[in-house]
Structure 1
Amino acid sequence: MIVKKENATNKQFLGVDFVVLAIGEKSMVTKMLYKTTDNVPTHSHQNEQNGYVVSGKYRLKFGNFDEILESGDSYSIPKNVEHSIEILEAGEVVDVFTPIREDYL
């Protein structure tokens, strides 16, 4: 499947704007559009989450990790693991979820 940027789906979840870039049989790619006013409290989901920081600055906490992430950094959060993100500087993050996040459709 190919998704041209003009056909990507703009969404919002718990106040956070994001774009659904592609949906495959078992995974999905999103681009999170974080603002400093966004709040991503501690939560978990049944999806593995792998992310790449395109821009911005974030504090990611999960398991024994409490790290500041900036452009070029990446991460992998196992499924069902509680995590939170504090937005320190607005920016964009590309996330891949496996399986597909039904609540993002």
Structure 2
Amino acid sequence: MKTCSKKFIFEKENEWEPAGEGVARQIMGYDGQLMLVKVKFEKGAKGVLHTHYHTQTTYVASGKFEFSVDGEMQIVEAGDGIYIAPDAEHECTCIEAGILIDCFSPMRADFISK
């Protein structure tokens, strides 16, 4: 498995990968300690309830989302952020189509297919 990305990742050259119904992602850079991922949601799409051992922070670049983190529900929109501790159950529903920017530590090896 590659342990780091290219130095420069250009959106127009980086394919969107399916990540669920109405959800697609672009991996925007990583090494063993860190990963940045752009996630595009259509209105009504869901990020299903899940956990992982990674620390995650999410920035809402556009759109509006209902997020649940460890049972606490909040509506977030462009400019807002979310912190998700390791092993915290979390999910989201897209209220208005948008893009989330996820940062993971350590990197999500399960997202690297090549």
1:86 maps to 2:110: no
User: Among residues 51, 69, 81, which one is paired with 1:62 in the alignment?
Assistant: 69
User: Among residues 36, 39, 48, which one is paired with 2:43 in the alignment?
Assistant: 36
Provide TM-score, normalisation by structure 2. 0.83
Structure 1 residue runs without a partner (length 5+): none
Structure 2 residue runs without a partner (length 5+): 1-6
Provide TM-score, normalisation by structure 1. 0.89
Aligned partner of 1:19 in structure 2 is: 26
* C-alpha RMSD of the superposition: 1.5
Query: What secondary structure sits across from 2:25 in the alignment?
Result: strand
Counterparts of 1:32 and 1:48 in 2: how far apart (Å)?
Answer: 17
May I ask how many residue pairs the two structures share in their alignment?
Answer: 105
Superposed displacement of residue 100, structure 1: 1.1
1:4 maps to 2:16: no
- Deviations, residues 4-59 of structure 1 (Å, cap 9, x unaligned): 33333421223320111111231110110011242222110111111110110001
Query: What secondary structure sits across from 1:49 in the alignment?
Result: strand
Aligned partner of 2:60 in structure 1 is: 53
The amino acid across from 2:50 in the alignment is H
